Amino acid sequence: MSDPNPIISSISGVESADNWESLSEPVAWRPTEEYLRKSRLLRFMQRHGISDYNALLERAASDPSWFWDAVSPDLELVWQQPYTQVMDTSRGIPWTTWYRGGKFNYVATALDKHASGPDASQTAVIWEGEDGEVRRLSYAELLALTNRVANALTALGVRKGDRVAIYLPMVPETVAATLACGKIGAIYMPVFSGYGAEAVATRLQDSEAKVIITADGYYRRGKVVPMKETADAAAALSPAVEHLLVVRRMGNDIPWTAGRDHWWHEAIEQQPETRETLATDAEDPYMLIYTSGTTGKPKGAVHVHCGFPIKGAQDMAHLFDVQRGDTLFWLSDIGWMMGPWAISGALILGATLALYEGTPDYPAPDRLWDFAERHGVTVMGIAPTVVRSLMAHGDELVKKHDLSKLRVLGASGEPWNSAPWHWAFEVIGGGRCPIINYSGGTEISGGIVGCTTITPIKPCSFSGPVPGIAADVVDDEGHPLRGQVGELAIRQPWPGMTRGFWKDPARYEAAYWQRIPGLWVHGDFAVIDQDGYWYILGRSDDTIKVAGKRLGPAEVESAAVTHPAVNEAAAVGVPHPVKGETVVVFAVLRPGTEPSDALRSEIQAEVVRAMGPALKPETVLFVTALPKTRNGKVLRRLIRARHLGKTDLGDLSSLESPDALEAIANAR
């Protein structure tokens, strides 16, 4: 490939000189002229006279005010009143505020701007139910629906600052509900659609939500999941709840409380299709999203209009290169951050958001590929865990579908293993689509590290920090590390950082700012190889330390799944009288493979081959499934605790598969 632009030369010449332990591989993808020519990020760099990608990262990290000021026109943000100061650290770095003096309601950019301009007739949302029903809304239609919902919420007494729980499946009404809350200055609280009553009630009680927006049910694997009954039970435990607004998805009989419960369609049908978007302060909260802690109650991350939506859209633009004409599909739920991220980010950028209600392998394991083909998905996000489960069904189920419109694959939620990464790259992406690996968190509003469509990509790796995030890998004193495992940390503030935990500022500071003073310590182990590529090795609380050597579970798991009989693996550390800890591997075998002592020894040998004799697993235990969240994260802390016979397992609200957790205790 010729390099007519000096930027292209500087970002395309990375070669792999050596492997980093068992993870680092040679570059597998390089940007073509087409990707470089299309790139929003490259245009941003050229606009600011930056000819080198690393120079962009360095300037953004050293001068956050410059970078985030430049992001505003790049994303074409609509300011209802201009800001006078980009960044204010007067209350200390953990409490930095942004765009001081500005009036900014993200809905004005995400919806009003497009619906009142030339994009009014463009499709904003495509939705498909598990039963095959399909609905589409243009930007103009979405605006009309959102305005009616905003007016209905106002009629129910919702005012600026009130909390509204959105306990819905991924349906078009979910998008309208989130936008309607923003329009009137209310704070929406996304709640995972698979939660039980106790988990929902915990969040309702803590947030003191005034309204629950829910549905009569939804499909999951062909069965009806009854949401309204769960919402009723949660509301009964939550004194602040005054109203339930119920979307009719299934049409089934449901219990009803007169005066409190209202059908969505009846509440909005008499409301006008016009509603002015409230001119909120840039720092006004718009979303309260809960994350599960290892211990204690869930943490309510507070996000503001000038935070999460801007950071999420900037990531989507600069990493995934999402732009007008794209169709983004990210397999998620409204209760996980990638759900709100997909909604606000895709709409701010004027793209089409594709939503799917059901499971990725129902009624057949090619459901996602069929969905992507029929709806012309161009940017598709899927967790590595989902890839591992679907690749077991073979290549042909993917190849029979036309995925030629797909140009970017995204991945988040879990570290990759080599074989699933290559399968996704070669089979799903046809060897032509970059896999934009992406890792961050709910409190971040998106990514800390990621890949881009203008930089070469090594399998399973990240190109480096997301532009605008001053990320580093550090030791326990905060000193930079290269070629060694360390803590993933951030040295400068950014707009997307949570404005604390709801009613618990001390817990926020303790969670992120007090381990290494002055640094945000995220709780992930990471490493930077000699070529400058980054790898996330798992949560710090998942860390295994054997005879003084600290390693992340992804290293062991990557080695275990190289055995052809192993479909998935989870590695945990357990106490050992001599080594401090030793490794136990839980393996899910491919269909048709039977557990045996011989197979156990073979898997142990694979780990030894990759990691060395000192890190040989104490044992390999066979299970039929691993405990996960619905969006595919393996819950290693629960695996370890259950295996060790602990009874206090902490917060279980995100666990989708209780049977898988119980099977851990009986694994042999």
DSSP, residue by residue, 579-613: TEEEEEEEEEEPTTPPP-HHHHHHHHHHHHHHH-G
Q: Judge whether residue 250 has pLDDT over 70.
A: yes
- Residue 96 counted as domain residue: no
Establish if 64 belongs to a structural domain: no
- Rounded average pLDDT over 175-187: 98
Which is nearest to 637 in space by CA: 622, 615, 616, 652? 652
Q: What is the total count of domains within the chain?
A: 1
CATH number of the domain within which 559 lies: 3.30.300.30
Q: Is the pLDDT of residue 205 over 70?
A: yes
| 622 falls within a domain | yes
Is the pLDDT reported for residue 296 higher than 70?
Answer: no
| pLDDT at site 470 | 98
User: Integer distance in angstroms from the first to the last C-alpha of the chain?
Assistant: 53
What is the tens place of the pLDDT at every residue in 27-45? 999 999 999 999 999 999 9
- Percentage of the chain with pLDDT > 90? 75
Q: Is residue 452 part of a domain?
A: no
* E strand or H helix that includes residue 231: helix 227-236
Alpha helix stretches (DSSP H) within 406-540: 418-423, 505-512
Q: pLDDT band at residue 549, thresholds of 50, 70 and 90?
A: low
At residue 37, what are phi and psi to the nearest 5 degrees?
-65, -35
**For residues 419 and 425, what is the distance between their CA atoms, to the nearest angstrom?**
10
Whether residue 667 has pLDDT greater than 60: yes
Strand partners, 85: 100
Between 111 and 199, where is the model more confident? 111
Between vectors from CA 30 to CA 27 and to CA 35, what angle results, nearest 5°? 155
Question: Once rounded to an integer, what is the mean pLDDT over residues 85-95?
Answer: 97
- Taking residues 304-312, what's their average pLDDT? 98
pLDDT of 558 > 90? The answer is no
CA distance 75 to 81: 17
Confidence (pLDDT) at 316: 98
Band the pLDDT of 608: cuts 50, 70, 90.
confident
Q: Half-sphere exposure (CA, 13 Å, Cβ side) for 235?
A: 24
C-beta atoms surrounding 380 within 10 Å: 27
Is pLDDT larger for residue 8 or for residue 98? 98
**With bands split at pLDDT 50, 70 and 90, how would you rate the model's confidence at 528?**
very high
Longest Cα–Cα distance in the chain: 72
Least confident of 260-269, 492-501, 608-617, 658-667: 608-617
Would you say residue 658 lies in a domain? yes
What pLDDT does residue 8 have? 34
- Strand partners for 87: 98
Establish if 588 belongs to a structural domain: yes
Length in residues, the chain: 668
Q: How confident is the model at residue 357 (pLDDT cuts 50, 70, 90)?
A: very high
List Cβ neighbours of 239 (8 Å cut-off, separation of 6 or more). Answer: none
Q: What is the spatial distance between Cα 195 and Cα 180, in angstroms, rounded to a whole number?
A: 23
User: What is the rounded distance in angstroms from the CA atom of residue 612 to the CA atom of residue 125?
Assistant: 50
| Residue 327 tokens, joined | 């169709």
For residues 573-584, average pLDDT: 80
Between CA 133 and CA 499 the distance in angstroms is 39
Mean pLDDT along residues 564-590:
87
How far apart, in whole angstroms, are the C-alpha atoms of residue 292 and residue 290? 7
- In a domain, residue 245? The reply is no
For residue 185, pLDDT over 70 is answered with yes
pLDDT (tens digit per residue) in 455-485: 999 999 999 999 999 999 999 899 999 988 8
Indicate whether 68 pLDDT > 70. Answer: yes
Contacts of 569 (CB under 8 A, 6+ apart): 556, 557, 560, 561, 585, 586, 587, 588
Q: How far is CA 625 from the centre of its chain?
A: 22
Specify the DSSP class assigned to residue 347. Answer: H
What is the pLDDT, as a whole number, of residue 659? Answer: 83
For 325: left if phi > 0, alpha if psi spans -120 to 50, otherwise beta; the answer is left
Reduced to 3 states, what is the DSSP secondary structure of residue 201? helix
pLDDT value at residue 103: 98
Query: What pLDDT is stored for residue 304 in this prediction?
Result: 98
Q: Shortest CA distance to 57 belongs to which of 537, 536, 532, 535?
A: 532
The answer as to whether 273 is a domain residue is: no
- List CB contacts of 223: < 8 A, sequence separation 6 or more: none
Amino acid 551: pLDDT: 61
Question: 208-219: per-residue pLDDT in tens?
Answer: 999 999 999 999
pLDDT for position 4:
31
DSSP E strand stretches across 53-130 = 85-88, 97-100, 123-128
In this structure, what DSSP letter does residue 93 have? G
- Whether the CB-CB separation of 11 and 39 falls below 8 Å is answered with no
Mean pLDDT of the chain: 91
Q: Structural domain of residue 640, as residue ranges?
A: 543-665
Least confident range from 17-21, 60-64, 364-368, 542-546: namely: 17-21
How far is 152 from 184, CA to CA, in rounded Å?
11
| Local confidence band at 633 (pLDDT 50, 70, 90 cut-offs) | confident
